[in-house]
Amino acid sequence: MSGMKPAIYTTVAHDEHDERHHGAVTFPIYQNTLFSFAGYHQPANPYTYSRGTNPTVRELERKLAELEGGEDARCCASGMAAISAAILSRVQAGDHIVCVDQVYTGTRAFLEGWLPRFGVSTTFVNGASLPDLEAATLEHTVLLYLESPTSFFFELQDIAACAALAKRRGLTTILDNSWATPCFQRPLELGVDLVVHSLTKYVGGHSDALGGAVIGSRDNIRRILEKEGVLLGGVMTAHTASLMLRGLRTLPLRMERYRQTGRIVADYLSGLAFINRINYPGLPNHPQHKLAIQQMDGFGSLLSFEWDVPLEQAQAWADALRYYRNGCSWGGYESLVLVIAPLSELGRSEPGILVRLYSGLEEPQALIDDMANAFAAILAGA
């Protein structure tokens, strides 16, 4: 772990376009859908119609590309719009995809339940095993889809090794980097071709804007813009781009706070004898911690733990929390808890329930007291 990218705070604070727009310090929202031509014989304006490109959205794309170390980016209406556009840009009928088995449920539903309609099949593999990933690669495989860490069990893939395997086998790699953000992980530098994000999470940071992005080489992004971007039309609005630009300004600050809080919460849970396992790659006893510190510069505040109680008891604990609200997303200022399911329903042989915790910007001690009170209340009544 070498710490965040040098000068990241300056990158998010500084705009190349400060001198334009009468010195406005926030980039203006270009609300308009179309841009008129100066005249029939004038050189074309780079902007013609906001389903293609829009200056506010473009500014966000420029910044995201810079933060991820990519040449260009394309922003979309949601994380799923970005993920589906990135995948569709690489496949055609008859192709095969290899994907990590713990991938985000929406991505899995797209690959497993929707793409087969168009003759594209997917094999889901344990992403922690390079031999398994390699063994699943067939002659007609074109894409290796990664998500590291995953967002239920927080399992990692060895990103550089996966990218090298993909290069050897002629596959494109896509990696969902929503959990780590470019503050803590830059997969393009490790050889991945395309990074995708749900900007709805940490980047937006305020639970008030849905968005997604694909980042990669100029050529790959141009292909996505010209086809999946304008033809499927799942574009980001200028207003959303402005909210995302605002989120980016404080992203490193917030990630630093989440890093600290995440570790405090993970240490607290580690001290509870009745919790079976904490899934958080930042803990030194996490089975992939060595790989984690090799390829990441820090860890967020979304983790899960395994608790051997009946489902109703875990749900009663979640209901007893004051600051952690029941909710399925993450990345905002507010803390959330999600009682996911019995481990047996998630393909695990261990007993117990998987509970996911997202710690927001509250004082870590308030969150720990909140959990302790809820545990005391539930265990006293058990």
Q: Could you tell me how many residues make up the chain?
A: 382
Find the binding residues for ligand PLP in span 93-122 (CB under 6 A): 104, 106
CB closer to ligand PLP, 30 vs 110: 110
| Residue 280 is a binding residue for ligand PLP (CB under 6 A) | no
Handedness of CA 149, 324, 266, 5 (dihedral sign): positive
Output the smallest distance, CB 280 to ligand PLP, in A. Answer: 16
d(CA 217, CA 355): 38
Which one of 54, 78, 173, 335 is in contact with ligand PLP (CB under 6 A)? 78
Find the binding residues for ligand PLP in span 355-374 (CB under 6 A): none
Tokens of 36: 């008129």
d(CA 308, CA 370): 20
319: part of which helix (H) or strand (E)?
helix 311-320
| Residue 176 is a binding residue for ligand PLP (CB under 6 A) | yes
Strand partners, 173: 144
DSSP state of 117: G
Q: Which stretch binds ligand PLP (CB under 6 A): 54-62, 65-73, 77-85, 311-319?
A: 77-85
CB closer to ligand PLP, 67 vs 309: 67
Find the binding residues for ligand PLP in span 188-207 (CB under 6 A): 198, 200
| Residue 354 is a binding residue for ligand PLP (CB under 6 A) | no
**Full DSSP string of 273-294:** TTEEEEE-TTSTTSTTHHHHHH
Output the smallest distance, CB 254 to ligand PLP, in A. Answer: 17
Q: Which stretch binds ligand PLP (CB under 6 A): 76-84, 161-169, 285-293, 348-356?
A: 76-84
Find the binding residues for ligand PLP in span 297-336 (CB under 6 A): 329
Contact pattern from residue 9 through residue 48 relative to ligand PLP, giving x for each residue in contact according to CB under 6 A and a dash for the rest: ----------------------------------------
Residue 51 Cα distances to 2, 72, 73, 87, angstroms: 39, 17, 15, 20
| Residue 212 is a binding residue for ligand PLP (CB under 6 A) | yes
Size of the site for ligand PLP (CB under 6 A): 13
Handedness of CA 132, 134, 139, 141 (dihedral sign): positive
**Full DSSP string of 196-253:** EEETTTTTT-SS----EEEEE-HHHHHHHIIIIIIII--BPPHHHHHHHHHHHHTHHH
Which one of 125, 171, 190, 210 is in contact with ligand PLP (CB under 6 A)? 210
CB closer to ligand PLP, 79 vs 364: 79
Identify the three-state secondary structure at position 103: coil
In degrees rounded to 5, what are phi and psi of residue 331? 100, -10
CB closer to ligand PLP, 100 vs 374: 100
d(CA 162, CA 131): 10
Tell me the residue number closest to ligand PLP, measured at CB: 79
| Residue 151 is a binding residue for ligand PLP (CB under 6 A) | yes
In angstroms, what is the C-alpha Rg of the chain? 22
DSSP state of 101: T
Q: Which stretch binds ligand PLP (CB under 6 A): 72-80, 345-353, 364-372, 373-381?
A: 72-80
Q: Which stretch binds ligand PLP (CB under 6 A): 18-26, 78-86, 216-224, 337-345?
A: 78-86
Q: Which stretch binds ligand PLP (CB under 6 A): 9-17, 56-64, 73-81, 126-134?
A: 73-81
Contact positions vs ligand PLP (CB under 6 A): 78-80, 104, 106, 151, 176, 178, 198, 200, 210, 212, 329
